[in-house]
Amino acid sequence: MKPLWNDIPSVARMRATYLRIDRLGTLGRRPVRVHVADAGGVGVEWIGQPDAARDGVILYLHGGGFAVRAAAADRRYCAGLARRTGRPVVSVPYRLAPEFPFPVGLDDCCAAYAGLLGTGIPSHKIVVIGHSAGANLALVLLMRARDNGWPQPAGCILLSAPTDLTAGSASATANAARDSMQGPNIWPWVRMTYLGAVAPDHPDVSPLFGDWTGLAPLHFHVSDSEIVLDDSTRAVECARQAGNRVTLSVWHDVPHSFYYMNALREAWRCRAEVVAFIDRTLRCLVLK
């Protein structure tokens, strides 16, 4: 991935690289079974046992720079979550830029959340997880839900969240050489591909500049070598100042998306923390 960011790659090149890596990751593995169903007009993927939804549902928003999806890797990660938590995962294959620029993908994520609520799943039985670009969308989803008068989910997990698309975080340049997957050119690429004429400091694309009051409990995970490190540390400070419950886990010298990589012990530790947060959050709110 890293050489892609020596310049500003085309979307076609980025997608071809993702697809090649995703296909390599499927070798020798059985495909994950998914059930496609409607949620708020969005065709979401249910992974795991839908009848276990009475114990909680995990709403998963994938990464990929708002323009790409590694579907097989996402499904494997979600299947692992479903097994470890005993709860189904609802993955949202939101529409991608540049064919569907901001705010289409965000609207899909919000519609899927509202759709789950509309089926009778209470908000206190939903945990939202966002990975990379999906973590950006997850934070804006929480802010939009509050503004729309929808109840907050039980909690939200943010994996390597890009919260400031202006590239204003110090780590955006300080970690440019250390980050083994991404480089500074990702910021103009995302702005060109996803934002169009929208200002990069708009709170619906850079939630760091949004209103952080009244959000669900948050748990951020990020590596200290990522260019988005300070996007998480700054977001945590915003959340704390707004009076939200927030936790930050900083992992040492592992790559972006490390939590997908079975060979890394940090991935297994991160997964354990994610499961513990889900169990603790759902159990706490259900008991209330």
Q: Give the pLDDT score at 288.
A: 38
Give the pLDDT of residue 117: 97
Tell me phi and psi for residue 150, to 5 degrees.
Answer: -85, 150
What are the distances in angstroms from CA 39 to CA 63, 164, 250, 261? 20, 29, 34, 30
Write out pLDDT tens, residues 201-259: 999 999 999 999 999 999 999 999 999 999 999 999 999 999 999 999 999 999 999 99
Could you report the average pLDDT of every consecutive run of 10 residues in the chain (288 residues)?
A: 92 95 89 95 94 90 97 96 96 98 98 97 97 98 98 98 97 95 94 95 98 98 98 98 98 95 95 96 62
Query: What are the Cα distances from residue 137, in Å, to 144, 173, 272?
Result: 10, 23, 23
Structure token digits, residue 185: 């050119």
Given a contact cutoff of 8 angstroms between Cβ atoms, the answer to whether 25 and 149 are in contact is no
CB-based contact 156:218 (threshold 8 Å): yes
Instruction: Tell me how far apart the alpha carbons of residues 235 and 60 are, in angstroms, rounded to a whole number.
Output: 20
Phi-psi region of 233 (alpha: psi -120 to 50; beta: other; left: phi over 0): alpha
* Residue 284 pLDDT: 59
Q: Is 199 left (phi over 0), alpha (psi -120 to 50) or beta?
A: beta
Bridge partners of residue 156, in order along the sequence = 128, 218
Cis geometry, peptide bond prior to residue 9 (ω within 30 degrees of 0): no
Which residue's entry shows tokens 């989910």? Answer: 153
Q: How far apart are CA 220 and CA 235, in angstroms?
A: 9
| Total number of residues shown for the chain | 288
What is the rounded CA–CA span in Å between residue 254 and residue 277?
21
Supply the pLDDT for residue 83: 95
Angle between helices 104-118 and 133-148 (to 10 degrees): 60
Structure tokens at 121: 């799943």
How much is the pLDDT for 217?
A: 98
Beta bridge mates, 38: 43
Contacts of 251 (CB under 8 A, 6+ apart): 221, 222, 223, 224, 258, 266, 270
Q: Which amino acid is at 211?
A: D
Q: How far apart are CA 235 and CA 232, in angstroms?
A: 5
Residue 286: the pLDDT is 42
Using alpha carbons, list the distances in angstroms from residue 259 to 238, 253, 287. 25, 13, 30
User: CA nearest 229: which of 155, 179, 181?
Assistant: 179
Match 């940090």 to its residue by tokens.
266
